[in-house]
């Protein structure tokens, strides 16, 4: 499990550690970890060259101390001081004593640049002087390691609304911040500096967390005890949505899937293990419903959604179901059973009355609290918010899942996990994790080079994705 902490939480955790250590000791501890990560990035230190781009305050001090440690190990070291009068005095003195050079611009022979411009207290884009420096660095193709976070990227939202650093690696200290999931940070390494942080209400699943929660049949399980997933999706116009959603539910668990809808024949022709009927009235008993993909928005579709939401079963609503729900939010107003909504940005705007904006986490939290349901906001970074509860993030690392029908697959997986008894937030987050991995595998099959994929290929790679986790 990875936890993410606000800048204030990090500062509060630092305060007692700073008070217990000699002056500057915590900075040198962090900088030593930074220098170690940079050494790994360089591959060898002696004979290589680094340049620190240094702002005022502690972030610049971290960069100068790291350059100092690398200089002592045989690297050439230079520094660009963006504000010489406010550079960290002790770190700068140590840098000079070690033989570091002060330069006006990053030398083109530099092997690696250290971004020490601003830290977690900074805000807004890079100022013109810093932007000019990093423009030259980008043109020269020199890799950058960011200290704590990329300068010019918001620590809370990951948004860069102007010039900013795009690092190959970000090295952060004490605890991860939201930017490390939400922003363009390259690879992220966390250096433990002894802050002793506890759990936070913003987190992300790792593969082990998903494996620990995924339903695996035990020796006494049968097809009913593993959860029966009900699917109401597709229509004569969009039978593919029914096939994708139902197929994903089949792939996600070893229980049973029942389909109710006009695409019953098409579904069974693809998935003969599915029990299919033409309507919900004859669907039979299920443990959760997945409703909405390709369903349409006519009276028949609305009746199907109402039927599901009036039960005391978990329900996941997607696509056309969300369109209906945006006009009739009262359908979930008093619902006590687990309910998951999975909008993309446009559907979110219809449900919330406004787009999610830059702060996607805060916007998703507000909608979850207002409707009293779990909301999964789709995107390169998926945000899952529970009413009054935690937020789970899933950074896909790519956008291969941004293809037509991909959301139908995700809906089927969530429905299957709800039927198996997972809590809604965990079901949504675990499904998003596996869905993203399946999308990545589908784009790289049959080799390591990525190529465009499709929802059908993502569906076909759900089981390999699960196998790689379980």
Q: Which residues are annotated as a binding site for (6S)-NADPHX?
A: 58-62, 119-125, 148, 241, 294, 344, 408
Collect all residues with Cβ–Cβ distance below 8 Å to 341 and sequence separation of at least 6: 316, 317, 318, 322, 325, 351, 371, 373, 374, 375, 376
Distances (CA, A) of 142 to 139, 371, 395: 8, 48, 26
| Binding residue positions | 58-62, 115, 119-125, 148, 151, 241, 294, 344, 378-382, 407-408
| Three-state DSSP string of 379-424 | CCEEEEECCCCCEEEEECCCCCCCCCCHHHHHHHHHHHHHHCCCCH
The Cα–Cα gap between 375 and 428 comes to 9
Q: Do 103 and 129 contact (CB within 8 A), yes or no?
A: no
Q: Which residue is it, tokens 């002060």?
A: 102
Burial class (CB in 10 A: 0-12, 13-18, 19+), 311: middle
Q: Do 263 and 235 contact (CB within 8 A), yes or no?
A: yes
Distances (CA, A) of 376 to 100, 186, 251, 373: 49, 24, 21, 10
Distance of CA 341 to the CA centre of its chain: 17
End-to-end CA distance of the chain: 16
| Binding residue positions for K(+) | 59, 115, 151
The Cα–Cα gap between 311 and 433 comes to 28
The Cα–Cα gap between 93 and 57 comes to 14
Nearest residue to 409 (alpha-carbon basis) of 216, 237, 252, 266? 252
| Binding residue positions for AMP | 378-382, 407
Measured at the CA of 105, the angle between CA 102 and CA 110, to 5 degrees, comes to 85
The Cα–Cα gap between 179 and 159 comes to 8
The Cα–Cα gap between 172 and 185 comes to 10
């Amino acid at each position: 499990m990875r936890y993410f902490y606000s800048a204030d939480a990090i500062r509060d955790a630092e305060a007692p550690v700073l008070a217990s250590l000699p002056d500057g000791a915590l900075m040198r501890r962090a900088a030593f970890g930074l220098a170690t990560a940079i050494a790994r990035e360089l591959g060898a230190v002696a004979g290589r060259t680094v340049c620190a781009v240094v702002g005022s305050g502690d972030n610049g001090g971290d960069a100068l101390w790291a350059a100092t440690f690398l200089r002592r190990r045989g690297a050439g070291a230079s520094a660009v001081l963006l504000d010489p009068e406010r550079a960290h005095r002790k770190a700068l003195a140590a840098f000079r004593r070690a033989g570091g050079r002060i330069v006006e611009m990053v030398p083109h022979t530099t092997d690696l640049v250290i971004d020490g411009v601003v830290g977690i207290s900074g805000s807004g884009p890079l100022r013109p002087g810093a932007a000019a420096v990093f423009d030259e660095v980008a043109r020269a193709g020199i890799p950058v390691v960011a200290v704590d976070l990329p300068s010019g990227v918001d620590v809370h939202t990951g948004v860069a609304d102007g010039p900013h650093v795009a690092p190959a690696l970000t090295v952060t200290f004490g605890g991860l911040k939201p930017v490390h999931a939400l922003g363009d940070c390259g690879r992220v390494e966390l250096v433990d500096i002894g802050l002793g942080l506890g759990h936070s209400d913003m987190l992300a699943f790792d593969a082990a967390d998903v494996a620990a929660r995924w339903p695996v049949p035990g020796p006494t399980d049968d097809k009913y005890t593993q959860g029966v997933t009900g699917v109401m999706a597709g229509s004569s116009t969009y039978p593919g949505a029914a096939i994708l959603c139902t197929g994903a539910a089949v792939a996600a668990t070893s229980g049973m899937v029942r389909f109710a809808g006009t695409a019953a024949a098409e579904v069974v022709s693809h998935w003969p293990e599915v029990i299919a009927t033409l309507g919900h009235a004859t669907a039979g008993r299920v443990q959760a419903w997945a409703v909405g993909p390709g369903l349409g928005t006519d009276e028949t579709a609305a009746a199907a959604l109402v039927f599901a939401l009036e039960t005391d079963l978990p329900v996941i609503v997607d696509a056309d179901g969300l369109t209906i729900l945006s006009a009739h939010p009262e359908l979930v107003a008093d619902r006590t059973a687990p309910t998951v909504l999975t909008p993309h940005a446009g559907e979110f705007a219809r449900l919330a009355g406004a787009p999610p904006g830059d702060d996607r986490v805060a916007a998703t939290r507000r909608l979850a609290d207002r409707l009293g349901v779990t909301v999964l906001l789709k995107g390169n970074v998926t945000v899952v918010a529970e009413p009054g509860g935690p937020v789970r993030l899933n950074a896909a690392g790519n956008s291969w899942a941004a293809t037509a029908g991909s959301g139908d697959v995700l809906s089927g997986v969530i429905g299957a996990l709800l039927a198996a008894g997972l809590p809604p937030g965990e079901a949504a987050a675990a499904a998003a994790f596996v869905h993203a991995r399946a999308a990545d595998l589908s784009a790289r099959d049959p080799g390591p080079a990525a190529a465009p994929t499709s929802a059908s290929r993502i569906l076909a790679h759900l089981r390999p994705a699960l196998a790689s986790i379980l």
